[in-house]
Amino acid sequence: MEQMNGLVQSVMESAAEHELWAPHDTLIVAVSGGPDSVALLRILHEISRKWTPLKLVCAHVNHGFREESMEEAGFVRALAGELGIPFELAEFDIPSIAKSSGLGPEGTAREKRYGFLIETARRYGARAVALAHHADDQAETVLMRLLRGSGPSGLAGMRWKRTEKKVELIRPFLRINKTALIGLCQEQGYPYVLDASNLLTHYQRNAVRLELLPMLEKYNPKVKQSLLQLSEITGAEDEFMEANALECFDELVLAEHGKYTLQRAAFAAVPSALQRRLIKLILNYLSADALSPDFLKIEAVRRGTLQEYPTVWTLDLGGGLICVRQYDTIVFSSKPQQRQVSYTYRLSLPPSRLEIAEIGKAMTMTVLERESFALQGEDLGKTSAWFDSRELAMPLTVRSRLPGDTIRVMGLNGSKKVKDIYIDDKIPSSERSRIPLVCDAAGNIVWIPGVRRSMHAAVGRQTATVLLLTLEELEKSEEA
């Protein structure tokens, strides 16, 4: 009983530290039949008998993956009966469901399993669902997230408790390693079942446990402990930063009518770590169901807010969310239906390259001597335009179309509306917002890429240097 007493003491200390339960709480215990979950049910039963009165409910899910699944369900039912604990069973044909779920077998199994556990907790009015994830699982989780490029929230690993659909999920074993749990079962003679699929390395977690961690242990025999320490430290610091982000939100962000607004100067005064947290927090408030924004999109918003130019832009953040900058005001909101893309960029002195993320294109500007330009040939296609660099009023602006835009086209007296040119050229309205306009310092439209160039700064016999503009598609990896 010495090992049982030691594990009971460890679990009770963790429960008190993280407030996992209180006397007379009802806990749904997820039991697969493996040594981890069998140990969890046995230890919680021991605690409820001798230390803290708890009402336990044993819950098991048959995923329908293996022939042994029915026998395992019977084993867990018998275990619950032996301990005098209510038993709840769910049975799913995950292989069939996964074909249409789009989540894959593992994702589908997780969704169905947690859905059943949460629904069972609600039926029993339970405080929480207890899960048997242990220290080895935590080390694997942290390593997997490290490989995936997660930030501090991810590297904190699994939490001692978290809420999913208004039900708490608790993990009392996060400081206990698997060896101790198997040792308890063997010492006390507790039977358990073994899942052969845990040895299949085509599952990522199995590959990390069976191949990657043993390899890393050759370089650091205590790599699991190092990963657990990283989890503990990062988790505490992550909670501290989240609290600061909430304070920052209250001070800097105006929330009204489904929009979140902040001012550029106030945002710039905040440390960069909090800037990223603040952006992520706003997006979570806007849509709790949206996918977590990646680092590149958060950085696009942060850098776009801090930069001096352009002062007007719109960034699609995915999940139906957008961020709009209007001079010194930054607004986060849900994306309006059929909203026209709006952006303004300044094209700096050549040579330069401007990425226009809103339309997935890039514009390059170079200056060539007349002789070099002549060698290339002047017929560079509709995606390029050339100007007399001395006659072109700088700086140039690249922007989206505005109502009433006109251009002075070569060979035409007076100006023509851009809208009429699009209609004449039969350019679909859905494509018009993806065509940028290039304007000179006086605001004249000098080029509509792929459509027209103006009469301004035409290349002639007296031209000494040529300014060449080219519009090209952004590579997929370059897009924010």
Residue ranges in the chain modelled with pLDDT below 70: 98, 100-103, 196-202, 288-293, 336-340, 370-381, 429-430, 476-480
- According to the model, what pLDDT value does residue 1 have? 73
CATH number belonging to the domain at 253-334, selected among 3.30.2350.10, 3.40.50.300, 3.30.390.50, 3.30.465.60? 3.30.465.60
CATH code, residues 2-231: 3.40.50.620
* Contacts of 273-282 spanning 24+ positions with Cβ under 8 A: 273/241, 274/241, 274/244, 274/245, 274/248, 275/302, 276/302, 277/241, 277/242, 277/244, 277/245, 277/248, 278/245, 278/248, 278/249, 278/252, 278/253, 280/245, 281/245, 281/246, 281/249, 282/249, 282/253, 282/332
- According to the model, what pLDDT value does residue 288 have? 56
Q: Annotation-wise, does 32 bind a ligand? A: yes
Could you report the per-residue pLDDT of 122-175, keeping only the tens digit for each? 999 999 999 999 999 999 999 999 998 888 888 999 999 999 888 999 999 999
Domain residues of the chain, as ranges? 2-231, 253-334, 346-478
- According to the model, what pLDDT value does residue 379 have? 47
Q: Annotation-wise, does 189 bind a ligand? A: no
Q: Annotation-wise, does 35 bind a ligand? A: yes
Is the CATH number of domain 346-478 3.40.50.300? no
Q: Alpha-carbon torsion 119, 123, 124, 127, what sign?
A: positive
Q: Measuring CA to CA, which residue among 31, 21, 345 is closest to residue 191?
A: 31
Q: Annotation-wise, does 153 bind a ligand? A: no
